[in-house]
């Protein structure tokens, strides 16, 4: 097998800037007037929370590199400082667009539709003011902790992501000296309150707007000179030395507390902030000019997600979709019997996640079940899966659960579940040193009359029944012996035993997966060179692995037709003459978060389709435990290929990547609007109907001529 060619930095996009492009696509959904108004609020909120995470992790780690004097260029040839400069420049621009969308487009439209977000106190009626007076005194005032700074009281710890109000104070009847004070907007209270309406118009007011109104109540002996809200973001990348950490669980708990103390990397202020206040903040938080964002509007737009939840505006929202039953799975039947009838494919959230929950639930109380093994990465708040696993352990089943404690921002949550499972008697493993366990696999071992049989669920998404309603993912049930054996080997490996000699069907990162992908891509390349029809269709969240991209370039050069559906980051540059002119990259941003990973290879007419938990990113291929599994059942293969085809035909929500790194909308041609996510919804409903009529065939009895 020939090695792949090397390509210079001009053949790659920087991943951070590509990510900002992705957020821009989400933002353009917020600006898209064809979307229902409240959906637009939601998209805007997502751009805000995306940015928070981006700063806490990506910007923070670039900062760390700069601080440590690390000067290596990335694949696009940019040094860390250069990347930071670009990021700050682009994000300032981006924030302006965010707020102009909010102020000029969304606020007026909300007003037109009967909802006012009160900007300042003076706009309110007396009744509304009275309501706020009461609300402040009863609910808000008791939980506020104003803090002043002087020689005896040092600058307080400002918590990461918290919203605060800074003020300059002057002692009443005293000299001119100004004092700095700050008060946190309580996180325990709702960010906005609905106040009494007037003539059919509904009103909401932001919590900080209320607090600002009563600032003088907080500092009784002072005159308030000026005040203004601000918000900071800190470095939140956990820095865990796993080799040193005796107990990973405890170490992570410790680090989570430390997260509050990380270096400040972003300061958001309202654009009218007094320069004297800003100077103090800048000095105390040690923040550079470029990292200060002056904002024309309320800080932290993530409250819009809550605003979306306001009842009574259903006409302004996408019709809620109910995930449909999966044809072939009787909700009340024995799931194991049904899997024995043949492999089953599930497409969430179009189809319900219930069978997966049921799978674990039935296994927990099935007398024939000997063992349940599962990987858990991010678990929902009140997870029925956790409850079933605990019950299974109590029923005497051997239950092994791999809880990935290192799942970002979920660490606290995960620790709680892990403890709970341990108490129930499950064997809980906390992942492998140095590797994140990202694969999603469940194994149920059952003793049946003719011996042991293994049932496996493999998926592209987490075992999280809440996100399964929002993320598009694929899952497969099978009791194939080959996959069952592999699944057992996966769990043995995760429990710390050595790897097996070989795998039947599964390919695993970090050891074998990269080679597998490269050899699949190179096989297409070789086919193309020999003049055979060769193609690759791959869908994933991010593409930024250099080795894979180089293999794709080689394949494209050889004439392989490559169509990629990459939702987020894409470092591959399409359309370079002689290098990537056969590669087409599109991104789909829709109501549901595109999350499934599907890989199809032409293989000279014998198409092969794989699914898995991994993106084409170095972290997925080198530092995580990931599983790629083949779809071999012909019927299932057809279904998965159909999913790809529908996504490729989407001409509304898909945008194409240009050679300059920007995205453009699908040039719609004659045929009608195709929104792939909507097509999947309709198909799921139709499939259930078809199944129903199959079971109760409607028979028309012709009237006899009497």
Partner 1 sequence: MTVTTFAAIDIGSYEVEMVIYEISSKGIKQLDHVHHIIALGRDTYNSKTVSYGLVDELCEVLYDFVNIMKTYHVKNYRAIATSAIREAQNSINIIDRIKVRTGLRVEVLSNSEQRLIMYEAVASKKEGFGKLIEKGVAMADVGSGSSQVSLFDNGSLITTQNVRLGALRVNEMIEKLAKSVSSSLAIMEEYIDTDVEVLKKLFIKDRKIECLIAVGDNINWFISRLSENQPREYYSRDEFMELYHKLYLMGNVGDRLGMSAEQAAVVLPSMMIYKKILDASDAQTLWIPGVRLCDGMAAEFAVKDKKIDVFEHDFNNDIIAAARNISKRYSWNKEHVKFVEKNALAIFDATKKLHALGKRERLLLQIACILHDCGQYISIMKPAECSYNIVMSTEIIGLSHLEREMVANIAKYTTMDFNADDELSGIFTDETMLTLSKLTAIIKISNGLDRGHKQKFKDTKYVLKNRELQIITQTYEDITLEKGASCGRVSLFEEVYGCKPVIIQKRR
Q: Is 497 in a helix, a strand, or coil? A: coil
Alpha carbon distance, N-terminus to C-terminus of the chain = 79
Which residue number, 146 or 510, has a Cβ lying nearer to partner 1?
Answer: 510
**Residues at the contact surface with partner 1, assessed by CB under 8 A:** 1, 370-371, 398, 445, 447, 450-452, 485, 488-489, 492, 495-502, 511-512
Minimum Å gap between C-beta 525 and partner 1 is: 16
Minimum Å gap between C-beta 629 and partner 1 is: 17
Q: Using the Cα atoms of residue 63, residue 65, residue 69 and residue 75 in order, give the sign of their dihedral.
A: negative
Whole-angstrom Cα distance, residue 90 to residue 359? 47
CB 141 within 8 A of CB 217: yes
Phi, psi dihedrals of residue 536, rounded to the nearest 5°:
-135, 130
Q: How many CB atoms lie within 10 A of CB 162?
A: 16
Q: Is 478 in a helix, a strand, or coil? A: strand
Minimum Å gap between C-beta 194 and partner 1 is: 55
Tell how far CA 618 is from the center of its chain. 18
DSSP 155: P
CB 596 within 8 A of CB 589: no
Place of tokens 């040039």: 667
Minimum Å gap between C-beta 344 and partner 1 is: 24
Q: Which residues pair with 561 in a beta bridge?
A: 535
Which residue number, 513 or 614, has a Cβ lying nearer to partner 1?
Answer: 513
Which residue number, 591 or 620, has a Cβ lying nearer to partner 1?
Answer: 620
Which residue number, 405 or 508, has a Cβ lying nearer to partner 1?
Answer: 508
Minimum Å gap between C-beta 499 and partner 1 is: 7
Minimum Å gap between C-beta 429 and partner 1 is: 12
DSSP 372: E
Which residue number, 260 or 492, has a Cβ lying nearer to partner 1?
Answer: 492
513-529 and 546-558 are packed helices; what angle lies between their axes, rounded to 10 degrees? 10
Alpha helices in 311-442 (DSSP H): 335-340, 354-365, 384-394, 411-424
The helix (run of H) or strand (run of E) holding residue 85 is: helix 80-100
105-122 in b/e burial notation, b at 16+ Cβ within 10 A?
bbbeebeeeebbbbeeee
CB 349 within 8 A of CB 335: no
CB 45 within 8 A of CB 31: no
Minimum Å gap between C-beta 660 and partner 1 is: 39
Minimum Å gap between C-beta 438 and partner 1 is: 18
Of 508, 469, 467, the C-alpha closest to 487 is 508
Whole-angstrom Cα distance, residue 23 to residue 71? 27
Minimum Å gap between C-beta 493 and partner 1 is: 9
Long-range contacts (CB closer than 8 Å, 24 or more residues apart) made by 271-277: 271/295, 271/296, 272/228, 273/166, 273/228, 273/230, 274/168, 274/225, 274/226, 274/228, 276/168, 276/178, 276/226, 277/166, 277/167, 277/168, 277/180, 277/226, 277/227, 277/228
Whole-angstrom Cα distance, residue 222 to residue 228? 16
Which residue number, 373 or 567, has a Cβ lying nearer to partner 1?
Answer: 373
The helix (run of H) or strand (run of E) holding residue 523 is: helix 513-529
DSSP 55: I
Specify whether 427 is catalytic: no
Which residue number, 236 or 371, has a Cβ lying nearer to partner 1?
Answer: 371
Which residue number, 252 or 371, has a Cβ lying nearer to partner 1?
Answer: 371
Minimum Å gap between C-beta 495 and partner 1 is: 8
Which residue number, 369 or 564, has a Cβ lying nearer to partner 1?
Answer: 369
Which residue number, 312 or 496, has a Cβ lying nearer to partner 1?
Answer: 496
Whole-angstrom Cα distance, residue 96 to residue 548? 36
Minimum Å gap between C-beta 26 and partner 1 is: 39
What's the chain's length in residues?
Answer: 706
CB 210 within 8 A of CB 192: no
Give the tokens for residue 65: 């590199």
Which residue number, 496 or 531, has a Cβ lying nearer to partner 1?
Answer: 496
Of 27, 592, 697, 541, the C-alpha closest to 323 is 592
583: buried, middle or exposed (CB in 10 Å: 19+, 13-18, 0-12)? buried
The helix (run of H) or strand (run of E) holding residue 641 is: helix 634-649
Which residue number, 34 or 498, has a Cβ lying nearer to partner 1?
Answer: 498
Catalytic residue among 348, 438, 457, 595: 438
* Gyration radius from the chain CA atoms: 28
Minimum Å gap between C-beta 452 and partner 1 is: 5
Give the tokens for residue 262: 């990380």
Please list the active-site residues: 438
């Amino acid at each position: 097998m020939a090695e792949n060619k090397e390509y210079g930095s001009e053949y790659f996009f920087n991943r951070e800037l590509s990510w900002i492009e992705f957020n821009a696509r989400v933002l353009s959904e917020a600006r898209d007037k064809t979307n229902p108004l409240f959906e637009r609020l939601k998209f805007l909120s997502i751009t805000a929370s995306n940015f928070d995470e981006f700063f806490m992790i990506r910007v923070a780690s670039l900062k760390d590199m700069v601080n440590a004097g690390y000067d290596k260029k990335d694949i696009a040839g940019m040094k860390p400082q250069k990347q930071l400069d670009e990021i700050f420049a682009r994000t300032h621009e981006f924030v302006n667009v965010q707020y102009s969308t909010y102020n000029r487009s969304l606020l007026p439209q909300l007003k037109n539709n009967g909802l006012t977000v009160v900007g300042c106190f003076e706009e309110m009626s007396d009744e509304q003011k009275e309501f706020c007076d009461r609300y402040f005194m009863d609910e808000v005032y008791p939980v506020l902790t104003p803090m002043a700074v002087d020689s005896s009281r040092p600058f307080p710890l400002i918590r990461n992501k918290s919203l605060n109000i800074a003020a300059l104070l002057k002692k009443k009847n005293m000299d001119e000296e100004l004092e700095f004070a700050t008060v946190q907007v309580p996180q325990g209270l709702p960010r906005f309150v609905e106040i009494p309406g007037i003539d059919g118009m509904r009103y909401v007011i932001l919590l900080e707007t209320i607090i600002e109104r009563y600032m003088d109540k907080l500092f009784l002996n002072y005159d308030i000179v000026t005040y203004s809200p601000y918000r900071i973001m800190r470095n939140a990348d956990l820095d865990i030395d796993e080799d040193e950490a005796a107990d990973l669980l405890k170490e992570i708990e410790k680090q989570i507390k430390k997260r509050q103390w990380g270096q400040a990397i972003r300061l958001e202020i309202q654009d009218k902030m007094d320069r004297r206040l800003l100077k103090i903040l800048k000095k105390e938080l040690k923040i550079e000019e470029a990292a200060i964002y002056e904002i024309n509007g309320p800080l932290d737009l993530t409250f819009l997600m809550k605003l979306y939840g306001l009842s009574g505006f259903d006409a302004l929202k996408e019709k809620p979709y109910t995930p449909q039953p999966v044809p072939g799975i009787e909700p009340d039947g024995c799931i194991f019997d049904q899997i024995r009838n043949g492999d089953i494919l599930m497409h969430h959230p179009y189809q319900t996640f219930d069978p997966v929950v049921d799978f674990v639930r039935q296994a927990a109380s099935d007398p024939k079940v000997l063992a349940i093994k599962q990987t858990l990465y991010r678990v929902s708040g009140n997870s029925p899966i956790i409850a079933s696993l605990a019950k299974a352990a109590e029923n005497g089943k051997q239950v092994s659960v791999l809880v990935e404690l290192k799942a970002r921002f979920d660490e606290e949550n995960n620790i709680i579940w892990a403890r709970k499972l341990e108490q129930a008697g499950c064997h809980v493993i906390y992942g492998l040193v140095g590797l994140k366990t990202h694969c999603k696999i469940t194994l149920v071992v059952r003793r049946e009359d003719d011996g042991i049989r293994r049932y496996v669920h493999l998926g592209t998404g987490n075992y999280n029944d809440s996100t399964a309603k929002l993320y598009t993912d694929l899952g497969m049930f099978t009791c194939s012996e080959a996959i069952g054996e592999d699944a057992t080997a996966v769990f043995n490996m995760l429990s710390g035993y050595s790897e097996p000699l070989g795998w039947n069907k599964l390919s695993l990162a970090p050891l074998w997966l990269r080679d597998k992908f490269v050899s699949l891509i190179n096989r297409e390349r070789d086919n193309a060179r020999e003049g055979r029809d060769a193609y690759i269709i791959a869908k994933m969240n991010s593409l930024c692995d250099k080795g894979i991209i180089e293999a794709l370039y080689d394949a494209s050069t050889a004439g392989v037709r490559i169509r990629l559906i990459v939702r987020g980051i894409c470092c591959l540059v399409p359309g370079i003459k002689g290098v990537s002119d056969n590669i087409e990259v599109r991104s789909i941003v829709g109501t549901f978060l595109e999350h499934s990973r599907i890989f199809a290879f032409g293989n000279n007419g014998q198409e092969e389709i794989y699914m898995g938990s991994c993106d084409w990113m170095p972290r997925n291929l080198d530092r995580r435990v990931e599983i790629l599994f083949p779809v071999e059942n012909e019927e299932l293969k057809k279904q998965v290929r159909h999913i790809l085809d529908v996504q490729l035909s989407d001409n509304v929500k898909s945008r194409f990547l240009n050679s300059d790194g920007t995205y453009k909308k699908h040039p719609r041609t004659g045929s009608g609007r195709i929104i792939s996510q909507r097509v999947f919804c309709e198909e799921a409903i139709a499939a259930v109907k078809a199944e129903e009529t199959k079971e109760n065939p409607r028979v028309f009895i012709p009237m006899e001529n009497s």
